[in-house]
Amino acid sequence: MNNTVQLFATCLIDTLKPKIGEAVVHVLNHVGTQVEFPLEQTCCGQPAFNAGMRSQARKMAEHTIQVFEKSQNPIIIPSGSCTSMIRHSYLELFSGDETWLHRAQNLAARTYEFTEFLVDILGVEDLDVSFPHKITYHPSCHLLRNLGIDRQPRTLLANIRDAEFIELPHATDCCGFGGVFSADQPEISTAMLNRKIENIISTSAPYVITCDTGCLLNISGGVHRKKLPQKVLHIAEILDNFKT
């Protein structure tokens, strides 16, 4: 049986946080999956799509479809937001264009968010990982509401040895990232982020886990500016602590 997947690393991980990409590869390898990285990949097009610039978004989406349809292997994305873009927004973007819509649907049908792939497709719930610290979890909005993925990351975190999980108060509140929104409306974004950071502080957990690099950059950027000690990790980074 073919057990190779295509990694769509996302533009944020590629440019700013390659270590997360490496952790994703480690975890996927650890569970017996071989990873391909199509080099032509860039960005799914979400920034332009969310800004309302659909012609630009379309070009990036067409590019992404072309890159990943060369192979029929599943596409794994360590981001709920980019997965939601492909699964839902591509259908909106290509509606009325039968040819491209068909290609988009084909891609969407074999595109999985990282934790969803581990838990729902591979049936992996316990990676035999040890992390002897207090941790809390921020559920990213698109992951939670657009994809309905919450049980999967929480299961993986619950099975981490030696970690003390503390529920984040008002966990489902948006952290204020929102892509272009955070640059376009910095003041509102900041007010939302400050609430999130206050809630994080109240847990006393030094580690905040999330499944999206956008939220990670937003929260960690705010935490660093405030000179606070908390660290924000992508879930792949904490899962990349295998005991064996």
Partner 1 sequence: MKIFKQKIRQALNDQVLQAALDANAERRNAARLTALASLPINYEEAQEQAYKIRKNVIDNLEKYLELFIQNAKANGLIVHTAENAIQAREIILGIAKNNNAKLIAKSKSMVSEEILLNQCLEDSGIQTVETDLGEYIIQLRGEHPSHIITPAVHLLRNQVGETFQKKLGIPYTTDIPILTQAARKTLRKIFLDADIGISGVNFGVAESGTLCIITNEGNGRMVTTMPKIHVALMGIERIVPTLEDLVKMLDLLPRSATGQETTVYTQFIHSPRSNNDLDGPLKRHLILVDNGRRNTNKSPIQDVLLCIRCGACINACPVFREIGGHAYIGEKGEFTPYPGPIGSVISPALFGESKFGHLAQVCSLCGACKEACPINIDLPNLLLRVRAGGKEIHSKKQNFQPRGLTAPLIYSLRIFSFIMQHPKLLLVLQKTLGLFSTIFSLGKPWINLPPFSGWGYSKDIPTPVKHPFREQWVKKAISFKEPPGNFKPSHALMDQQKSLHGGSKRKSLSVKNRTILIHKFEREFTTLDGKFYICSKDTLADKVIELLKSLKTEQIISWNVRGKFEKIIDSLIENNIAINLCMPSNAKVGLTGVTAAVAETGSIMLTSGEGKPLSASLLPETHIAILYAEDIYPRLENVLTLPEVKNASASVLISGPSRTADIEMTLTIGVHGPREVIVICAT
Q: Which of 6, 8, 47, 205 binds partner 1 (CB under 8 A)?
A: 47
Count how many residues are written for the chain.
Answer: 244
Q: Which residues contact 195 (CB under 8 A, 6 or more apart)?
A: 170, 173
Q: Of the listed pieces 107-115, 129-137, 159-167, 203-211, which binds partner 1 according to CB under 8 A?
A: 107-115
CA distance 39 to 83: 19
Q: Which of 6, 65, 69, 93 binds partner 1 (CB under 8 A)?
A: 93
- Smallest distance from partner 1 to CB 149, Å: 6
Q: Does 228 bind partner 1 (CB under 8 A)?
A: no
CA distance 115 to 139: 12
Q: Does 77 bind partner 1 (CB under 8 A)?
A: no
Q: Which of 45, 77, 168, 199 binds partner 1 (CB under 8 A)?
A: 45
Q: Of the listed pieces 24-32, 129-137, 155-163, 203-211, which binds partner 1 according to CB under 8 A?
A: 24-32
Decide whether 54 or 134 has the Cβ nearer to partner 1. 54
One-character DSSP codes across 98-155: HHHHHHHHHHHHTEEEHHHIIIIIS------BB--SEEEE---HIIIIIS---HHHHH
* Token pair for 68: 């990943």
CA distance 31 to 119: 11
Binding positions for partner 1, 169-188, rule CB under 8 A: 172-174, 176-188
CA distance 198 to 144: 21
Q: Which of 8, 11, 80, 238 binds partner 1 (CB under 8 A)?
A: 11
* Total residues interacting with partner 1, rule: CB under 8 A: 95
Q: Are 240 and 167 in contact (CB under 8 A)?
A: no
Q: Which of 130, 132, 167, 191 binds partner 1 (CB under 8 A)?
A: 191
- Helix %, strand %, coil % of the chain (to 5): 50, 15, 35
87 DSSP assignment: I
Q: Of the listed pieces 41-49, 129-137, 160-168, 199-207, which binds partner 1 according to CB under 8 A?
A: 41-49
- Smallest distance from partner 1 to CB 95, Å: 9
Decide whether 164 or 184 has the Cβ nearer to partner 1. 184
Q: Does 154 bind partner 1 (CB under 8 A)?
A: no
Q: Which of 16, 161, 162, 169 binds partner 1 (CB under 8 A)?
A: 16
CA distance 230 to 201: 8
